[in-house]
């Protein structure tokens, strides 16, 4: 499938654009920016633009953006398996399971070894029940969970069935561990970090997350939002 073949700029007919999302941008920030840039370039008021799978603001990496008629394919891309590189800090937790909030509890981690890590990792492979973070976009009584969490309200989320296909330890340097993880739609890597800490009789939270693949698409073939903007500016319209 053609992605960034800018020789044909019929964005309304449909384009699939691979963006390497930068840190602190939301997925909707990217969608809004792409929509604005295309509308400005083509001098049109409206164009359909959507993304195929949310990345948290503190995550970077592959975001599939669809325009025009290709927005009908979003659910197909969302359902494909995803690959992440995640760095997790052991020995502490945060309410959000990542760096969005401050550490709230400190735990012993000196007992954790590479052997211990290799013993617990197999328990996460396959279909498992995973409780989403309360600091997530899950809806409870019509409200986003994170809205209630930020107000300090008690929230209880039900577990979801997810599949983790593989976990590979890339780096182990206490209290940090970096893994490559391939998983299904709906998997929260922040929740995996929390559960990994508990399995190791300690605490853990996500320090860094990068999505590297969605199905057959790789972040290696993606472009930065600035690169996309410059490429769009250089186009000559007939």
CATH at residue 35 = 3.30.2350.10
User: Within this chain, do residues 179 and 98 fall inside the same structural domain, yes or no?
Assistant: yes
DSSP at 108:
-
How many separate domains does the chain show? 2
The answer as to whether 6 is a domain residue is no
User: Within this chain, do residues 89 and 194 fall inside the same structural domain, yes or no?
Assistant: yes
Asked if 50 contacts 66 with a C-beta cutoff of 8 angstroms, the reply is yes
DSSP at 131:
P
User: Within this chain, do residues 225 and 186 fall inside the same structural domain, yes or no?
Assistant: no
Range 61-81 average pLDDT: 95
The phi, psi pair for 90, rounded to 5°, reads -90, 155
> Does position 35 have pLDDT exceeding 90, yes or no?
yes
Instruction: Outline where DSSP puts E strands in the chain.
Output: 15-21, 49-51, 59-67, 82-90, 92-93, 105-106, 126-130, 139-140, 143-144, 160-173, 176-183, 204-214, 217-218
User: Within this chain, do residues 210 and 222 fall inside the same structural domain, yes or no?
Assistant: no
Range of the domain at 96: 82-214
User: Within this chain, do residues 112 and 209 fall inside the same structural domain, yes or no?
Assistant: yes
Q: What is the mean pLDDT of the chain?
A: 89
Q: Using 50, 70 and 90 to split pLDDT, how confident is the model at 45?
A: confident
Q: Which residues have a Cβ under 8 Å from the Cβ of 19 and sit 6 or more positions away? A: 30, 34, 62, 63, 64, 65, 222, 223, 224, 225, 228
The answer as to whether 54 is a domain residue is yes
Catalytic residues: 56
pLDDT digits (tens, 9 = 90+) for 95-129: 989 999 999 999 999 999 999 999 999 999 999 99
> Does position 213 have pLDDT exceeding 60, yes or no?
yes
User: Within this chain, do residues 108 and 73 fall inside the same structural domain, yes or no?
Assistant: no
Q: What is the pTM of this model?
A: 0.89
């Amino acid at each position: 499938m053609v992605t960034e073949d800018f020789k044909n700029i019929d964005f309304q007919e449909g384009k699939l654009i691979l963006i390497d999302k930068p840190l602190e941008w939301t997925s909707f920030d990217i969608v809004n920016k792409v929509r604005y840039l295309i509308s400005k370039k083509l001098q049109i008021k409206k164009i359909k633009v959507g993304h195929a799978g949310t990345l948290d603001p503190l995550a970077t990496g592959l975001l599939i953006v669809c325009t025009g008629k290709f927005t009908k394919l979003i659910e197909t891309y969302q359902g494909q398996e995803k690959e992440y590189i995640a760095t997790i800090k052991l020995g502490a937790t945060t309410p959000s399971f990542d760096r969005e909030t401050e550490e709230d509890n400190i735990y012993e981690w000196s007992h954790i070894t590479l052997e211990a890590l290799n013993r617990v990792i197999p328990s996460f492979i396959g279909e498992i029940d995973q409780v989403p973070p309360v600091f997530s976009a899950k809806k409870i009584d019509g409200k986003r969970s994170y809205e209630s969490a930020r107000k300090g309200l008690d929230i209880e989320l039900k577990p979801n069935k997810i599949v983790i296909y593989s976990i590979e330890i890339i780096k182990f340097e206490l209290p940090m561990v970096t893994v490559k993880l391939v998983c299904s739609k709906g998997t929260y890597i922040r929740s995996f970090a929390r559960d990994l800490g508990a399995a190791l009789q300690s605490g853990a939270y996500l320090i860094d997350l990068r999505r590297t693949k969605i199905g057959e698409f790789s972040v290696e073939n993606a472009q930065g939002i600035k690169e996309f903007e410059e490429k769009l500016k250089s186009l000559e319209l007939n």
